[in-house]
Amino acid sequence: MDERPFDAAAFYARVGATPRERSALRQDLVRGLKDYFGHLYGYDRYGAETVFLVSERLGHPHAFGFALLRILHDRRISDEVKSAAATEALTTIAYGQDGGLPYGLFAAVHFLMQREQLSLDDLRYALVVSAGDADPFGGVDKAVMLDFCTRLLGTETLPPEERAFWSHSLINRHQDRPGAADMINLLLGTTPLPLALRLELCWAWVHFRQPRLQVEIPVPDGTVRGRFVSEHLPFWLAHAPSWPTLSMVRLALVWLPRLGEDPLSLAVTYIEYRNAFADQLHAAVADILAEHHAAMPDAAVRQVVEQGIAISGSGPTRRKFYSLGAELFGEDYLTRASGDAAGSVRQWAARQLQRQG
């Protein structure tokens, strides 16, 4: 994309920076640009000359995001100026262009949400423009990411179906990066979302399909961003991610009994599963037994444990069943584990037997 010149003096004026803050902002702009080059090339490519490239490069939305992250973490800068800078992130977006999103966009969105300075149109705008981003939380701290997700789920001005849709989309695109399991547990355990929606998400993930969510397209309210959302949201609804991540599949099955489905029926059904995601589903069965075994007949639990040991393809998953068997039915399971085909399982069993001996 064409890079627009960045006028630092005009930026200081727009965000209302004091003379002292301008000095801090100048440093953040240069250091942020260095971060951008480090991200792009793997090293500080321009060194001391980076300062001369601020005007040329920071007009690029992706590069500006690196500087903004520096600004948001700078204690020398007031919250008012940070809020104005975060708002700038939304205005720099060049939708559909290469590098058209500021890096760490959701750090800026979260900052504004925290201070109740983000309108519903702007929240939807940020979600829609980033809907094709394969790493939506790049540059965002785990704590900030999880708090953003909490606030999104609690945004009652968004219909529940839309909150469920965006949560599904963000989790799917975040993949199994750090914090993925926390995001999933937050979504499936959140009471602001109706039980039926959470069950639909679980079944969709377990069956490797798109969730069936009746998301209504908001009526344009006359604002530019409101019209943008109404125009572009239908495309992203039609192209919602449908192939779940490993964590989504495993935790969806774990959550189904917590949401009211019969744990024994799920365990008996999914321990037989053999195709894609078999290891995740078998691991989830072990988790279901560990959590709900007291409500099941011992014979049925033992049978599923035996099946898990016999058919689970990975050592770590078989180890879960051995461990569960030893906890519920005795040390014999550790002795059997000491002869398992996987060396890691044998070593684990030897350590457990040594502790008990």
What is the domain count for the chain? 3
Distance between CA 37 and CA 48 in Å, rounded?
A: 13
- Domain-located, residue 77: yes
Residue 130 lies in a domain: yes
pLDDT higher at 248 or 3: 248
- Does residue 350 sit within a domain? yes
Identify whether 319 is part of a domain.
yes
- What pLDDT score was predicted for residue 357? 66
Q: Is 179 left (phi over 0), alpha (psi -120 to 50) or beta?
A: left
Average pLDDT over residues 11-32: 97
Instruction: Write down the pLDDT at residue 285.
Output: 98
Enter the tokens of residue 70: 């520096």
Please give the average per-residue pLDDT across 106-129, as a whole number: 97
Note whether residue 112 is domain-resident.
Answer: no
Domain limit, last residue, from 103, 133, 159: 103
Domain for residue 224, yes or no?
Answer: yes
| Whole-number Å distance between alpha carbons of 195 and 197 | 5
Percent of the chain with pLDDT strictly greater than 70: 99
CA torsion through residues 262, 264, 270, 272, sign = negative
Q: Are residues 225 and 143 in the same domain?
A: yes
Residues 240 and 127 in one domain: yes
Residues 289, 225: one domain?
Answer: no
What CA–CA distance (Å, rounded) separates 284 from 206? 11
Helix, strand, coil % in the chain, rounded to nearest 5 = 65, 0, 35
Q: Identify whether residues 233 and 169 lie together within a single domain.
A: yes
Q: What domain range is 148 assigned to?
A: 119-247
Distance CA 5, CA 43 (A): 24
In a domain, 257, yes or no: no
Identify whether residues 134 and 213 lie together within a single domain: yes
230 and 276 together in one domain: no
**pLDDT value at residue 2:** 53
The Cβ of residue 193 has, within 10 Å, a number of other Cβ atoms equal to: 19
Look at residue 345 and tell me if it is in a domain: yes
Report how far residue 26's alpha carbon sits from residue 19's, in angstroms, rounded to the nearest whole number.
Answer: 11
Distance CA 213, CA 201 (A): 9
